[in-house]
Structure 1
Amino acid sequence: MTNEGTKATIGFIGLGIMGRSMAGHILDAGYPLHVFNRTAAKADDLVARGAVLAKTPGDLAAACDVVITIVGYPADVEGLYFGPDGLIARAREGALLIDMTTSSPDLARRIAVEAAKAGIETLDAPVSGGDVGARAGKLAIMVGGSAAAFGRALPVFETMGERIALMGGAGAGQHTKMANQIAIASTMLAVSESLAYAEAAGLDLAQVIEVVGSGAASSFLLGGLGPKMSARDYAPGFFVHHFVKDMGIALSEAERMGLDLPGLELARRLYQRLVDEGYGEEGTQALFRLYDARDGARGAN
């Protein structure tokens, strides 16, 4: 596939809030990089730095040793991987396909089965850390697939992430990401309610975040998104509508496993309300809108 000492050619599909930074780190590490995005202009900066813009995902797959995808929804993943011009059909024998979208564990397993028939390896490798982690190259990357495929991918993962772990077979990366999103969902409720209470009590939110954040309630979400809630800064690091999608996947998997997750159900309902009210393109910290006295404080009812 590659000569000894030669870096693999990487293909990257999906240059959104996180993907563009992730692809940039791969390029900065010296890998030959081919890119594709439905809005081609989002690739301009990478192309100016030496990346090759592919005309179609299939063309990209045919030219690369490793293909990485990070798109919006499971339906987008399915459309990319299957079909006569899909990644599985067009990829080289012996290629490695890595889906870093937060998607369905079942879909990850289906991709692995179909790709194996064509002599292609796959990994599901969703990430956590948002736009900040993507820009810094410090994402957490949770991976499902074979140890051999993980070993091939690890040098590429290390350009984008700081905590990288093989969690099990195909689908295990997605299951781990669901656990991550479940933890975030209820924590976002707690942070929003904590700050709403503090503000109603007449406290200074910056001081509350500093003091409370130094004790047992310390968390990345309180320290990182709490100040944005206080400032009513709802610019996206991760879209509300994508989080609703993730929670829907997690609830479906929980139902299949016979689990009752009332905290997750409540969080999904509240975030869906934000989507219904037109805030789906904002960041997940926009949950504070529902508790904000300045914004009508609709609350959890």
Structure 2
Amino acid sequence: MTKEKIGFIGTGVMGQSMAGHLIDAGYEVLVYTRTKTRAQALLEKGAKWKETVREVAEQSDVIITMVGYPHDVKEIYLGKDGIIHNAKKGCYTIDMTTSSPILAREIYQAAKEKHIHALDAPVSGGDIGAQKATLAIMVGGDSEAFSAVTPILEKMGTNIVLQGSAGAGQHTKMCNQIAIASNMMGVCEAILYAEKAGLDPNTVLKSIETGAAGSWSLSNLAPRMIKGDFEPGFYIKHFLKDMKIAIESAEEMELYTPGLKLAKSLYEQLEKQGDDNKGTQALYTLLKQHALTV
């Protein structure tokens, strides 16, 4: 597929960069987000503003969504004025929100009845990956639909894998978030330990990030912790949403996830402090508070 008209719904921290890459690639991009000012940079690049989800659905060949929560996804896709009831026959929809695997399958079935191709395709890589178009994209759905939209996905990411049928992309993202949850605790503790031991944490990073301890969070978020930069590349409130979905899915499969539950409890403390709009690296501040009181 080449140069289809693409609808993009949700232009937040990551969505804005992702939609921008599509414009740069020469696609006509129609955008809608609840707060128009958040789409202003895209409009200045040539995106066309639409007043409603319905307008985007009616006028697009491919529709990409990148919103906050499963309830947003459900409303956008399954509501009366949503995508499924108003998209053109043969349209491709790609939900890149981290959402519920069960909801992804529900959307797939509803879309199939309307002769619409639905994929769930959550991403990993944060604001940096979105800016650099190096996102990991985990896809669930039919192989034919995946092949058709791969050229579009390649404008936003570099590691693009069809994981299985509808919902498989979301399940894979849960694996990703489970791994990050425990890793973030370790990264924060390592930086705090370095500081307490009187070491230069930046120098410590040079030694450990390329060894067995290496991870994306260590290389990309630890430097932000050290600088005192807790602005969101990925919001705590969204990470909490993801962890809740992961725990619900794990319990449904009778899987024990102690690391995930501990991480969630710590992030809930940050939420209670009013820090849910900070980046996930702000866990460092919570652990540092505890270090000062024990």
Q: The TM-score by the shorter chain falls in which range?
A: over 0.9
Distance in 2 (alpha carbons) for counterparts of 1:29 and 1:230 = 36
Deviation of the 1:296 alpha carbon:
5.2
Misfit runs of 4+, over 2 Å: 295-299
Q: Which amino acid aligns with 2:277?
A: E
Q: Which amino acid aligns with 2:242?
A: D
1:60 alignment partner, one of 37, 52, 56: 56
1:193 alignment partner, one of 183, 189, 193: 189
> With structure 2 as the length reference, what TM-score do the two structures score?
0.97
Distance in 1 (alpha carbons) for counterparts of 2:188 and 2:259 = 14
Aligned positions of 1:253-272 closer than 5 A: 253-272=249-268
Superposed CA deviations along residues 1-46 of structure 1, whole A, max 9, x for unmatched, are: xxxx862110000000000000000111111110001001122222
The aligned residue for residue 150 of structure 1 is 146
Mean Cα displacement is larger for which, 172-181 or 211-220? 211-220
- Unaligned 5+ segments in structure 2 are none
Q: Which amino acid aligns with 1:82?
A: L
- Residues 1:173 and 2:169 are matched in the alignment: yes
**Number of equivalent positions:** 294
1:182 alignment partner, one of 170, 178, 181: 178
The aligned residue for residue 232 of structure 2 is 236
Aligned positions of 1:23-62 closer than 5 A: 23-62=19-58
The aligned residue for residue 277 of structure 2 is 281
Deviation of the 1:254 alpha carbon:
0.2
Distance in 2 (alpha carbons) for counterparts of 1:196 and 1:256 = 36
Superposed CA deviations along residues 251-273 of structure 1, whole A, max 9, x for unmatched, are: 00000000000000000000111
Distance in 2 (alpha carbons) for counterparts of 1:145 and 1:129 = 21
Deviation of the 1:83 alpha carbon:
2.2
After superposition, the CA RMSD in angstroms is 1.4
Q: Which amino acid aligns with 1:186?
A: S
Distance in 1 (alpha carbons) for counterparts of 2:86 and 2:18 = 23
The aligned residue for residue 208 of structure 2 is 212
Distance in 2 (alpha carbons) for counterparts of 1:240 and 1:136 = 22
The aligned residue for residue 20 of structure 1 is 16
2:291 alignment partner, one of 276, 284, 297: 297
Mean Cα displacement is larger for which, 169-178 or 197-206? 197-206
Deviation of the 1:137 alpha carbon:
0.6
Deviation of the 1:198 alpha carbon:
1.6
Q: Which amino acid aligns with 2:216?
A: F
Distance in 2 (alpha carbons) for counterparts of 1:27 and 1:179 = 31
> With structure 1 as the length reference, what TM-score do the two structures score?
0.95
State the SS of the aligned residue for 2:8. Answer: strand
Distance in 2 (alpha carbons) for counterparts of 1:257 and 1:73 = 22
- Residues 1:124 and 2:120 are matched in the alignment: yes
Q: Is the 8 A contact 1:123 1:143 kept in 2?
A: yes
- Unaligned 5+ segments in structure 1 are none
Q: Which amino acid aligns with 1:99?
A: D
